[in-house]
Structure 1
Amino acid sequence: MPLSPLIQSDEVIVVVDDSRDIYNLFQEFLGRQGFTVLHAGSAAELFHLLQTNPVALTLLDIELPDRNGTEILAELTIHYPDMAIIMITGTADLQTALYCLRLGADDYLTKPMSLADLNRSITSTLEKRRLVIDNRIYQQKLEATNYRTQFLHQLNLKMNSAYLSSVELDDVLQAILVGITAGEGLQFNRAFLALFDEKHQVLQGRLAIGPSSREEAGRVWEEIKAKDLHLNDIIENFKNSQTDANQQVNRIIRELSVPVTDTSHTLLCACAKRKSILVEHGQSAGCPVTPELMQLLWEDTFIIVPLFSPSQSLGVLIADNFITQRRITEEDITNLEIFASQASLAIEHSYLYTNMLHKMQELEAVTQELENNKDRLVEAERYAAMGHMSAQLAHAIRNPITSIGGTARLLSKKVTDPVILKFLDIMAHDAAKVESTLEDLFNFIKEKETNKSPQPLYPLIRRSVMLLY
């Protein structure tokens, strides 16, 4: 059975021995097994090959022209931990063998050796190496899955424990974008978010996150991991550490504006179909790719995932590997759709909260208007009662005053006594003053004509209905 599946297709085996005959023997045998075999006649040649080739296994002779194999072994195990090493020597020295194994060698063979022994040693060494690498990859995936699960759980708690205002929504969406681009998250290089406007007429760019280099992405996520930051910590950490690269990708996404009438646009096609669209090298199977979108993103390979609720489309998530150019797999798409579902929940939650606030504000305004109208009605009733009483009082006083004033004026024309005439003039004058005051009172309480003007009917009906529902 060929042994080559135990290593990657681009990996090689290096034979380090100053004897060309030994190399030819190993090369012929390993070549039949499907391996690519290279030769290094010295330690210097070995280190040169390690700089230019991915080496899976080194067959290292202890006696080399320029350096001792045990010295090289100590360096190799430190700088190339994923490389398997089998030591080869012409002397059967147990102490040397144990020393090499303690330094990190995977096996130890003595010359001459049978091909069966060589085959058995290489097989077990590569199988052990494969298991170690697979176990590490599995552990990394397990840690990433565990972190993503905790991250999504914290998002759920955030959305279920409190309503999301527009500011809090931006915070949660930023945290989701961090998870999409994080090393322990989905490992995309960049993530963009676009949402429909309030009237659902334009798909507008909202947020974006992305490093300027792979190293920066790793640094940000390692800091989050080292500090054991939770969702609120990640949100705060992100707000306090906006990099130039993040500002750059945010400038890109804010230039995105797609009217809903442009139904042929790739983003609107994804929203209409409620299906993820993978664009590879400017081509996609589901929808035509808009050239302006690729120009805006400076990238022709990316994934579009729609955001939607049961009642409406909310927007899209866009993710790519702009820096590393790593291929987007089906697993990547599935994981991104999980994050997209959380983003959809957060957006819908925020919209419901915003609508509830608007309803509460309208209801408070209607309630306040009812209170004001009630006060005006009570005040009007009081004024009406006072007017009615005033009218009765004025009518009751007016007739006697008129009689007194008229009699005084009539007597003043017939009386000649100066003293009596003086008193009659005073009575007539005061009676006239009282009559004038009563006339003013009558004019005040007289009902005025109602001033009618056209009024909008819809706000009145809306406020009335709000009182019932």
Structure 2
Amino acid sequence: MINSNYMFKSLFCEKECRLEHLLELSLKFVTKLLQTEEEEDLWALVLVAITSAQGLKFNRAFIFKKEEARDVFRGVTGLGPLSFEEAHQIWSQLEVEKPSFEELIARARQEITNENRPIVKFAKELSISFCENSSSWQKVFNEQKVLHLKRDEHPEFRYLFEKLEVNECALAPIKTPMTYGFILVDNFVTKKSFSAMEFYFLETISALTSIALQRLWSYKELLRQKHLLLEAERISVIGELSSKIFHEIRNPVSALGGLSKVLLKKEVPEGIENYLKTMVREAERLENVLKDLFQFMPSFELKKEPVRLYRLLQSALVLFLGVFKEKGIHVSFECLDGDPIVNVDPKEMQLVFINILKNILETLKEGGSLQIITDKDQEGIKLKIIAQNSQIKQKTFHKFPSQITKGFSEKSVSGLGLSLAKRMIELHGGRFSVEYLESSGMEIIIFFPKKMIMNGEDA
């Protein structure tokens, strides 16, 4: 009886000490979490907190991220041994050196970003597939719970168990509005079973990681949007300056060329006639040079990747919502079922949307409406951006570049901004047009052909 009491007290003391240890870990984790500035810093912290003796003591941990266009999660990086010999070597060295939590994070930061390290290569070879309507997805991402996978209970993950060489592992969710992912843990060496307490703290770490990842993304997105706005403003200024230069030079050149043509129709001395023909020819050449300059876009290579169309649109809209509200402009966004994934350069395509919205803002002085509609058929997706206001008349667009539409006002719309938007859409393989509406408005149409859409029938 005394022996049983002693064992019970020892077990209770061990659990109490373990709980105190994990609570101390949580405090350290949160403190370091607030200091992370890059995604790699975050992964290093998470992996150390999960695998170290000062942490949850799992043998290995891996970070997975969902691919944009498919229900496939791929390994990003990982930490831990790939063999029993390596485990003995690593753990013996740590036992001798006894590095601090901060020192472990610094080491991990170097290791997980080294593409040549075996554990990183191994992590990148890992992949897991499960769709949104599966029970696994429901458990991990909807309920935000750890999913305990066992070889005999989850035959659909047979490939994963064989690759990891384990009979059980666990997935903890990483979920933000922008991405899905998870942390995978196992006890490859010790084969130790998982405990409810470990899962509880693993869920805590994954929840805090999701928050930190969202904070990092928001900060980077803010900087990126600031850069895009500055770029759009620069284009607007260049557009106004280009228009002035274009008209100031073209008008006298056109006048000289036109006058020379008139004189050629009359009888003039033979020597003078040659001069007049030269003037007409050079005037036309100069006009063509000016047109080329006005339509100028530096050549560069698009960095295409699968991105969600609505996410790009929403990111651009958010920048102007305050101004729309201030001007009393009603904004509506009518989406298709699903979220089309298009193969585009995200930075350049978002700059297209920013330039379009900026032009519309300058056109809709006060009041009116902005309607964004997506429509899909067998050929592709048509995105319509419709601006309506009683002040918008057809004459508003009378100077708009001819390659886009028949009218344009330099004061209300930046010709260069929309010209570049058109060129960029066409560079991607799409189509761009602007139409005047009889009901006092303008309609910008962007067409994404089927070849640009990555998720096909699921969009």
Q: TM-score, normalised by structure 1?
A: 0.51
- 1:274 is matched with which residue: 144, 163, 166? 144
Q: Secondary structure at the match of 1:8?
A: helix
* Cα deviation, residue 228, structure 1: 3.6
Could you tell me how far apart the structure 2 residues matched to 1:220 and 1:349 are?
Answer: 35
Bigger proportion of residues as helix = 1
| Aligned counterpart, 1:298 | 165
2:8 corresponds to 1:142:
no
Q: Which sections of structure 2, spanning at least 5 residues, go unmatched?
A: 296-348, 362-459
Identity %: 16
* Cα deviation, residue 5, structure 1: 1.9
2:286 corresponds to 1:437:
no
Bigger proportion of residues as strand = 2
Could you tell me how far apart the structure 1 residues matched to 2:244 and 2:148 are?
Answer: 68
Could you tell me how far apart the structure 2 residues matched to 1:446 and 1:378 are?
Answer: 19
Mapped contact 1:394–1:442 kept (Cα < 8 A): yes
Could you tell me how far apart the structure 2 residues matched to 1:365 and 1:257 are?
Answer: 38
Residue by residue over 1:114-167, the C-alpha shift from the partner in whole angstroms, topping out at 9 and shown as x without a partner, is xxxxxxxxxxxxxxxx67x97687556534532441232111232xxx4xxxxx
* Cα deviation, residue 323, structure 1: 1.8
- Which segment drifts farther, 271-280 or 147-156? 271-280
Mapped contact 1:265–1:288 kept (Cα < 8 A): no
Could you tell me how far apart the structure 2 residues matched to 1:247 and 1:338 are?
Answer: 29
* Cα deviation, residue 182, structure 1: 0.7
Closer/same/farther in 2, CA of residues 446 and 252 from structure 1, 3 Å limit: closer
2:203 corresponds to 1:333:
no
After TM superposition, list the pairs within 5 Å mapping 1:108-127 onto structure 2: none
Residue by residue over 1:51-77, the C-alpha shift from the partner in whole angstroms, topping out at 9 and shown as x without a partner, is xxxxxxxxxxxxxxxxxxxxxxxxxxx
Could you tell me how far apart the structure 1 residues matched to 2:139 and 2:354 are?
Answer: 37
- 1:324 is matched with which residue: 177, 186, 190? 190
Amino acid at match of 2:27: T
Closer/same/farther in 2, CA of residues 240 and 391 from structure 1, 3 Å limit: closer
* Cα deviation, residue 381, structure 1: 1.4
Q: TM-score, normalised by structure 2?
A: 0.52
Mapped contact 1:363–1:466 kept (Cα < 8 A): no
- Which segment drifts farther, 293-302 or 235-244? 235-244
Amino acid at match of 1:155: L
Q: Secondary structure at the match of 1:237?
A: helix
Q: Which sections of structure 1, spanning at least 5 residues, go unmatched?
A: 10-129, 163-167, 406-430
Mapped contact 1:304–1:319 kept (Cα < 8 A): yes
Q: Secondary structure at the match of 1:198?
A: coil
Mapped contact 2:40–2:113 kept (Cα < 8 A): no
Mapped contact 2:151–2:158 kept (Cα < 8 A): no
Mapped contact 1:179–1:185 kept (Cα < 8 A): yes
Mapped contact 1:294–1:300 kept (Cα < 8 A): yes
Q: Secondary structure at the match of 1:343?
A: helix
Q: Secondary structure at the match of 2:145?
A: coil
2:212 corresponds to 1:343:
no
* Cα deviation, residue 227, structure 1: 4.5
Closer/same/farther in 2, CA of residues 438 and 313 from structure 1, 3 Å limit: closer
Q: Secondary structure at the match of 2:34?
A: helix
Instruction: For CA contacts below 8 A with separation 6 or more, give which structure has more relative contact order.
Output: 2
Could you tell me how far apart the structure 2 residues matched to 1:257 and 1:326 are?
Answer: 24
Could you tell me how far apart the structure 2 residues matched to 1:184 and 1:227 are?
Answer: 10
Could you tell me how far apart the structure 2 residues matched to 1:191 and 1:332 are?
Answer: 13
Paired residues, what number?
298
Q: Secondary structure at the match of 1:339?
A: helix
| Aligned counterpart, 2:40 | 170
- Which segment drifts farther, 355-364 or 340-349? 355-364
| Aligned counterpart, 2:59 | 189
